[in-house]
Structure 1
């Protein structure tokens, strides 16, 4: 074998080994990325399971001075700074005024109860004279609970006739109409149905327990009867009211919409583990007539929002769910609270981890916008718009620039990658 042939063989071996090394390195990089994403997911789920649920916090491991970011003083080298040097200021809400017993008890019926000596006790033990009252001394105030009571109310209609007409051989009789029943051919009254609904939907007392409560009061009412009260009353009395509320809601030029998951037991054709959705549509904070309407649907299809909103042409404030794109003719507004939540979720479990820097910057931008909004609350809509353009526009421009510059530098499937993508 010649020297030239040996060189060719060696070069082929080197090339093959280089390709093998490159392939192994690529595979190692992929495994490292997957490992990093899995660790991040474990930390996130651990935080969700055992951490506190609220996003509010006094300090998230340091402070970022947002003005430095906005005006470009936060350079690339500083992205690798020690997270211990980074702090985010979060403005605390002013504490509520102290508890006042007088305010808490305002409006509650009051009764003065006097404890007096029995007549035979009103005698002086020294000389037998009668004891005279010299005043009263306050002891304490107690809260006295009176259990609920129930009674049967028998309704009668009075009828009256004209006796003169009767004597002349003609009838003239008038019978008072009386109140219409809540439900035809039912013993349900407005108060009993209202109490049943209040117990179930406000106090979360299931009907089988309410059935026992009614029995303890002396009346056997089956839960099927209570359920029928709720269903029939809702259809006859509440549905028209909801329809009217929807009409008034759609007269607003600015609305909120959102949807959340829930599970429905014993729903026909579906398992108890199936995801269902409760949709909510609400007026804005400044509306003179606040309205919130909830609508249940088995799915999350954007057609639910489109059907509810109909020909609505105003502004709709939602999260980033693409289903709202099926609502035609609206001007869609994104939610900054959701953007902030994505950055909060991207925070690693260890606040001193260098990877916490980028999420903290995103949170700082959001907090800055929230602080400005808080200061503008008392202004008129026109003045607020002017101030937003003056104070918030520079923050927004800096934020978008930071997002676009940072996004290519992170893993697209990582929490911070998803936060940046969501923000865009």
Structure 2
């Protein structure tokens, strides 16, 4: 072979090698650029999932934020708005963002002139009208009372004189307290639990507030009170709610991390513990929300949590959700949408648009019966999903960038993402579970950790009752007062059916504890 031809072939091989290296470098640069953009957005960008483009066909995005959350709190001077025009000015009164509840008690204060004698003729003046000039809120601080229970004993003097008769003695019976040999009454315990799990006020910060009201205690005592109440009086209701929950056919599930200092598995306190949540769907009766504290995120925890359940679990893409007997798993389209939203490219916008069209349909049919929802989903949603997956299959999404991750996440969960098309009780997303677990996340930022596993499980029980009460329109404080007043004096261990009348949706509780 001539020398020139060999040299030419060698040069071509070198050029091809350089071209391959250049293509590989370009792909690496593209991936790193995408990574830098994602990290920059995570650090400085908006955290909202609101789309940055107009939805097709004039559809309104399901993820629009409530505008009331974007407006600053107004002062009295800001309660009117001046709108300028080229010729005239008009004032538009804005609705006040502070007002009174309808059932608030009214106290009237009447102001009369100091002297009712006419300055001119010195005759007595007569009132002819009155004007309401302003309203103001008046706060009366809570008061602490030291309640002492006395049992009075009576005897019959006539029977006492008759030696042939047995002396008759009667004694007034004081009701049992929620915690024996403790000064904490039902209202104190109810406020303690309410402030921690609804107001997210840590126990160590409650100590000073109790002292201000006249109750001297410490955070260790408060913690023990929460654990005792949860174990003695709330646990039976929690177990009954779990029994009713696992009898449902559709559940939402999610989990989030926590921290337990004294762990029984030998791991250091810095290791993550987890809180699991399960929530029923409104179409299957009163909503039940149940939390469970665990040391791990393993599948064994999930199996124990929903032991006996047969049906469909709506969840995210975590690998523990899967391959359980008698359980079908449906994945969440909101998670799919988030992956495409992160891409922030033309293809990413197309993926988000497909998801928004599905959510738009769901918003229209959410008040329909399950059978009607299935029919409309088959007619309108299924063609959109088929078109969506066909578009992903035809598009060359490769590499480790955001758009490739979105495509891989969507395709790998295709079967689970289509479950909602066949079952009207199955929601398109897992947002109810994420909303249910949010109080746990907010609380974690305030009380930081649980010292013991017993404390963590007490938190889970209290959160379960709090969120279930909230979902059923119950005032949690009133509910706790009633539970801690009635249950210590009821034989519910011998007659478990009594507990049914103390569930948040029961007629008894709805009448006495509704908001």
Check if 1:90 corresponds to 2:61: yes
Quote the offset at 1:306 in angstroms: 1.1
Does the C-alpha gap of structure 1 residues 24 and 273 become closer, same or farther in structure 2, counting only changes over 3 Å? farther
1:306, 1:326 within 8 Å by CA — same for their partners in 2?
Answer: no
Offset at residue 412 of structure 1 (A): 3.8
Structure 2 CA distance for aligned equivalents of residues 88 and 375 of structure 1: 11
The CA deviation string for residues 109-146 of structure 1, in whole angstroms up to 9 with x for no partner, is: 1111222345xx23333343333333422121110011
Q: CA deviation at 1:312?
A: 0.9
Return the alpha-carbon distance in structure 2 between the equivalents of residues 246 and 277 of structure 1. Answer: 18
Kept in 1, the 8 Å contact 2:62–2:359? The answer is no
Greater C-alpha radius of gyration: 1
Return the match for 1:153 from 130, 147, 166: 147
Partners of 1:181 and 1:331 lie apart in 2 by: 45
Give the deviation of 1:151 after TM superposition: 0.9
Question: 1:52 aligned to 2:52?
Answer: no
1:371-390 equivalent positions in 2, closer than 5 A: 371-390=360-379
1:61-80 equivalent positions in 2, closer than 5 A = none
Once the two structures are superposed, residues 241-281 of structure 1 have per-residue CA deviations (whole angstroms, 9 ceiling, x without a partner) of 2111111111211111111234x264545556533322110
CA distance in 2, matches of 1:410, 1:94: 31
Residue in structure 2 matched with residue 202 of structure 1 by the alignment:
198
Q: What's 1:418 paired with?
A: 405
Q: Residues 319 and 338 of structure 1 are in contact (CA less than 8 Å); yes or no, is this contact kept in structure 2?
A: yes
Aligned-partner SS, 1:325: coil
**Corresponding residue SS for 1:260:** strand
Give the aligned partner of residue 112 of structure 1: 108
Look up the match of 1:331.
328
Contact 1:311–1:329 at 8 Å: present in 2 too? no
Shift of 1:16: 5.0
Asked if residue 405 in structure 1 is aligned to residue 399 in structure 2, the reply is no
Following the alignment from structure 1 to structure 2, what is the Cα–Cα distance between the partners of residues 412 and 64?
Answer: 29
Aligned to 1:39: 33
Q: Distance in 1 between matches of 2:404 and 2:220?
A: 52
* Closer, same or farther: CA 412–259 of 1 in aligned 2, 3 Å: farther
Return the TM-score normalized by structure 2.
0.68
Q: TM-score, structure 1 length as denominator?
A: 0.81
Q: How does 1:25-424 map to 2 (within 5 A)?
A: 25-57=19-51, 59-60=52-53, 90=61, 104-118=100-114, 121-169=115-163, 170-262=166-258, 264=259, 266-268=261-263, 273-347=270-344, 356-406=345-395, 409-424=396-411
Higher RCO (C-alpha under 8 Å, 6+ residues apart) = 2
1:26–1:422: structure 2 CA closer, same or farther, 3 Å change rule?
Answer: same
Instruction: Please give the alpha-carbon distance, in whole angstroms, between the structure 2 residues aligned to 1:200 and 1:95.
Output: 27
Partner of 2:105: helix, strand, or coil?
Answer: coil
Residues 303, 265 of structure 1: alpha-carbon distance in 2 compared, 3 angstrom cutoff: closer
Per-residue deviation at 1:101? Answer: 7.8
For structure 2, the 5+ residue unaligned runs are 69-93, 412-515
Q: Give the superposition deviation at 1:154.
A: 0.4
Tell me, which stretches of 5 or more residues in structure 1 are unaligned?
66-86, 348-355
Pair 1:23–1:88, CA change in 2 (3 A): farther
